[in-house]
Amino acid sequence: SKKGYYLTFNSSNGILQKIKKISKNGINSKIVLLKEHMFLIDNSNKLLKFNRCLVHFGVDDDQVVMTTNLKLTKFKNGEDIPQAKSAEEWERAGENKKPAWAYYNNDPSTAEQCGLLYNWFAVNDPRGLAPEGWHIPSEDEWKKLGDFFSQKYPRNVNSIKSKTEWTRYENGDNTSGFNAFPCGYRSKTGSFNQFGGATAWWSASKDGGGDRSHNSMFFSFSNVYHEYNVAQNNRASGLSVRCMKD
């Protein structure tokens, strides 16, 4: 065996069982590098096919990140997450601080590559948006991954971008395996924007204003400056969601 971590799956149903740390000479490995295992994990924590699962090895711990955006329409307890099709439905959900999801431009065909757009009230709902064994990354976890990308691929966000669909900027090469499609976002008033030119993922963290604020934190990157950013956005906006393994 080699140092680092490996993934094990239940052979009968393809569900990820555990991530096991391997020690060498009784000492846990302390390395920082990007490893691409040949697995693709879907939003239900199941092995879909042999492909890449992004694994970030860090000092003392690791980050395993889904390579696809979430596209679940039910909370972890089985209750439906309300779909907001019209701009009025979407805006009303935000004003009432209720969870909602949408296809970009209400087009179901976008879900294959982009998953769904969720407001932050769906992310923060106590019924749980992330599948069992996964969680929505915190602000600090996104910063850690962004710092890692910056060190591993300096001034080159093309390494995390998908190889297709970037119509407003050049396509990426996806050397990292993160596979970021330009899925755009939905504003708090319900308009859809930036498909083909931008993408962003919610964090589980509120901004510094806490419950008094209307904003929460999200992770994105700049196609112009090739930098990774954790910033704040209105909680009623619709962004993509990626999960990290617990």
Specify the pLDDT at position 61: 53
**In this structure, are residues 183 and 167 in contact, taking their beta carbons and an 8 Å threshold?**
no
DSSP H/E element including 151: helix 139-152
Share of the chain above pLDDT 70, in %: 73
Specify the pLDDT at position 5: 41
Range list of H helices, 44-126: 87-95, 111-114, 120-123
If you average pLDDT over each of 2-16, 45-59, 138-152, which comes out highest? 138-152
**In this structure, are residues 129 and 75 in contact, taking their beta carbons and an 8 Å threshold?**
yes
Beta strand residue intervals within 25-174, DSSP E: 27-28, 33-37, 40-41, 47-49, 53-57, 62-65, 101-102, 117-118, 134-135
Mean pLDDT over 206-210 rounds to 74
Phi then psi for 175, rounded to 5 degrees? -65, -25
User: Is the pLDDT score of 21 beyond 50?
Assistant: no
Work out the pLDDT band at 133, boundaries 50, 70, 90: confident
> Residue 11: CB partners within 8 Å, gap ≥ 6?
none
Q: What is the pTM of this model?
A: 0.79
Give dist(CA 106, CA 101) in Å, integer. Answer: 10
Share of the chain above pLDDT 90, in %: 57
Give dist(CA 202, CA 222) in Å, integer. Answer: 16
Mean pLDDT over 166-182 rounds to 92
User: Is the pLDDT score of 178 beyond 60?
Assistant: yes
Q: Give the mean pLDDT of the chain.
A: 79
Give dist(CA 168, CA 156) in Å, integer. Answer: 17
User: Is the pLDDT score of 233 beyond 50?
Assistant: yes
Specify the pLDDT at position 151: 87
Specify the pLDDT at position 79: 95
User: Is the pLDDT score of 84 beyond 50?
Assistant: yes
For residue 163, give the 3-state DSSP assignment: coil
Specify the pLDDT at position 175: 86
Work out the pLDDT band at 52, boundaries 50, 70, 90: very low
pLDDT in tens, 93-121: 999 999 999 999 999 999 999 999 999 99
